[in-house]
């Protein structure tokens, strides 16, 4: 059994779920969360460090994660049971507390790619793609960021779409696109040169002119297969253009829920690091006693638990607002910025509790510490999300 394995049982609350947020789930959601936890502990935890170390993705786990029923839970075409935004968030916690790379894989195919089709697709497109994606038979990627447009994608996309009859021709480049080296479809966002608006296209893996190259030597989320993509005269039929996306504003409707999803994911990462630090502090002895008995170590553990609890509280309320149809972009931005900043602090404290072992993969914190950096920056950097909140407070946009 892996040293970081936590036994799961029906009534087992996670030790870091101090205010028992999990109790807020409906009974069926709770069952599903426990099923998911069991899958993550049995199948993912034992191999996560090694895959991370080799910068590989465990493809063989895709049918297993699909079988837990957590892919595409937001959409009637793909959901297996009634569920709330709270459940979808909690599922991200359960996955990320074991492996943030795997959580990112799920976030990209189930949140971003299925979200784009769910929000922007016609009824026919939703019916064609969402069910097989929910079953894990089709994996999606989401290609928005470009080499020259990261924070500035709303204005700065260079990838172009030109319509010729019923065919679109895409040209340009994308950067950092998760899952893209192996995804069956990649949602490509490009500027229509006719009206200057951003449109979304479902690009199939083997389309001529669509080329991916894995980004090597990453030091964060090493299990995620990020790609540089080049698009050279890529032909996409009008039938594969997302029919309900006419501008960047429509695309922003996809990113709201996924941003809150990253906030939950950040709390999963924080929770995983906190749990490992608690265990380590109980086992490691210095000066003749467990380091858990020292006040300064207890302070770090207590502060970490408070940060995790505060972050989860923000996530829970954001989920309630989502279900009530009241969640605004600035709510999502605040959750993402606040939770990722708390996560970064928590993983740093947890790493310090482990001393030298905190930087080595085998002791359960180093991977979380490294992964936190990418999560802090993707789906809108801390700065950009903070500025979205700043705009909501002041009515003034500070980032353009
Ligand atoms: C592991 C990983 C996975 C990713 N997966 C995907 C994916 O699947 N699909 C996808 O489309 N993208 C993906 N991304 C891209 C990600 O969303 C971008 O990295 C992110 O939006 C930031 O863009 P950038 O890296 O170009 O940084 P930049 O935009 O160049 O920002 C650099 C710095 O400048 C700051 N900055 C920029 N503009 C302003 C401003 N106006 N005011 C103040 N500060 C500013 C930023 O906050 C940041 O600190 C991924 C990235 C990573 C690292």
DSSP per-residue letters across 33-61: HHHHHHHIIIIIHHHHHHHHHHT---GGG
Give the atom of ligand 1 at the shortest distance from the alpha carbon of 384.
47
Question: Does the pLDDT of residue 5 top 80, yes or no?
Answer: no
- Whose CA is closest to atom 44 on ligand 1? 383
Give the atom of ligand 1 at the shortest distance from the alpha carbon of 381.
47
Instruction: Compute, in angstroms, the gap from residue 384 CA to the centroid of ligand 1.
Output: 9
Give the atom of ligand 1 at the shortest distance from the alpha carbon of 380.
21
Query: Hey, CA dihedral for 255, 256, 257, 260, is it positive or negative?
Result: positive
113 lines ligand 1 (CB under 6 A): no
Mean pLDDT of 168-174: 98
pLDDT in tens, 73-95: 999 999 999 999 999 999 999 99
- All structural domains of the chain, each given as residue ranges with its CATH number in brackets, are 21-134 (1.10.540.10), 140-240 (2.40.110.10), 248-394 (1.20.140.10)
Mean pLDDT of 200-224: 98
Helices vs strands, H then E, count in the chain = 13, 9
21 lines ligand 1 (CB under 6 A): no
What's the rounded Cα separation, in Å, for the pair 319 and 22? 13
- Whose CA is closest to atom 17 on ligand 1? 378
What's the rounded Cα separation, in Å, for the pair 291 and 387? 41
224 lines ligand 1 (CB under 6 A): yes
Residues 171, 158 contacting (CB under 8 angstroms): no
Confidence of residue 12 (pLDDT cuts 50, 70, 90): low
Instruction: Compute, in angstroms, the gap from residue 294 CA to the centroid of ligand 1.
Output: 40
pLDDT of residue 14: 85
| Tokens matching residue 321 | 């607002």
Which of 12-26, 31-45, 95-109, 164-178 is predicted with the least confidence, judged by mean pLDDT? 12-26
Q: What is the rounded average pLDDT for all residues in the chain?
A: 96
176 lines ligand 1 (CB under 6 A): yes
Neighbouring C-alpha atoms within 13 Å toward the C-beta of 97: 31
pLDDT in tens, 117-152: 999 999 999 999 999 999 999 999 999 999 999 999
Beta-strand relationship, 198-204 and 167-178: unpaired
What's the rounded Cα separation, in Å, for the pair 185 and 236? 12
Instruction: Compute, in angstroms, the gap from residue 133 CA to the centroid of ligand 1.
Output: 27
What's the rounded Cα separation, in Å, for the pair 31 and 78? 18
Residues 92, 107 contacting (CB under 8 angstroms): yes
Question: Does the pLDDT of residue 8 top 70, yes or no?
Answer: no
374 lines ligand 1 (CB under 6 A): yes
226 lines ligand 1 (CB under 6 A): yes
Give the atom of ligand 1 at the shortest distance from the alpha carbon of 189.
11
Residues 149, 198 contacting (CB under 8 angstroms): no
Mean pLDDT of 171-183: 98
pLDDT in tens, 293-332: 999 999 999 999 999 999 999 999 999 999 999 999 999 9
177 lines ligand 1 (CB under 6 A): yes
End-to-end CA distance of the chain: 52
- Whose CA is closest to atom 25 on ligand 1? 150
Mean pLDDT of 238-266: 96
Give the atom of ligand 1 at the shortest distance from the alpha carbon of 149.
26
Mean pLDDT of 6-27: 77
Instruction: Compute, in angstroms, the gap from residue 150 CA to the centroid of ligand 1.
Output: 4
Mean pLDDT of 290-294: 98
100 lines ligand 1 (CB under 6 A): no
| Tokens matching residue 312 | 């989860």
């Amino acid at each position: 059994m892996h040293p970081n394995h936590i036994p799961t049982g029906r009534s087992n609350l996670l030790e870091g779920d101090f205010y028992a947020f999990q109790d807020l789930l409906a009974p069926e959601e709770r069952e599903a969360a426990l099923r998911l936890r069991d899958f993550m502990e049995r199948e993912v935890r034992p191999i996560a460090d090694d895959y991370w170390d080799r910068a590989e993705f465990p493809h063989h786990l895709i049918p297993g994660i699909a079988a837990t029923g957590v892919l595409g839970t937001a959409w009637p075409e793909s959901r297996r049971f009634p569920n709330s935004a709270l459940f979808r968030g909690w599922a991200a916690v359960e996955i990320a507390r074991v492996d943030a790379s795997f959580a990112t894989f799920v976030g990209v195919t189930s949140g971003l790619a299925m979200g784009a089709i769910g929000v922007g697709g016609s009824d026919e497109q939703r019916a064609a793609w969402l069910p097989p994606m929910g079953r894990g038979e089709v994996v999606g990627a989401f290609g928005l960021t470009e080499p020259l447009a990261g924070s500035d994608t709303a204005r700065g996309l260079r990838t172009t779409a030109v319509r010729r009859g019923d065919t679109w021709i895409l040209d340009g480049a994308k950067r950092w696109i998760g899952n893209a080296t192996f995804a069956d479809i990649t949602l490509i966002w490009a500027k229509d040169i006719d009206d200057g608006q951003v449109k979304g296209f479902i690009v199939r893996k083997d389309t001529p002119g669509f080329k991916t190259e894995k980004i090597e030597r990453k030091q964060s989320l090493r299990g995620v297969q990020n790609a540089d993509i080049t698009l050279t005269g890529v032909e996409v039929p009008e039938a594969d253009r997302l029919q309900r996306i006419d501008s960047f504003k429509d695309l922003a409707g996809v990113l709201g829920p996924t941003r809150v999803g990253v906030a939950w994911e950040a709390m999963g990462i924080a929770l995983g690091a906190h749990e490992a630090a608690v265990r380590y502090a109980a086992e490691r002895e210095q000066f003749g006693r467990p380091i858990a008995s020292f006040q300064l170590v207890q302070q770090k553990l207590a502060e970490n638990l408070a940060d995790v609890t505060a972050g989860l509280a923000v996530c829970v309320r954001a989920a309630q607002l989502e279900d009530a149809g009241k969640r605004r972009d600035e709510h999502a931005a605040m959750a993402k910025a606040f939770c990722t900043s708390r996560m970064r602090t928590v993983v740093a404290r947890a790493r310090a509790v482990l001393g030298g072992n905190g930087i080595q993969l085998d002791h359960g914190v180093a991977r979380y510490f490294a992964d936190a950096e990418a999560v802090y920056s993707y789906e809108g950097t801390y700065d950009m999300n903070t500025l979205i909140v700043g705009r909501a407070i002041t009515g003034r946009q500070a980032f353009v």
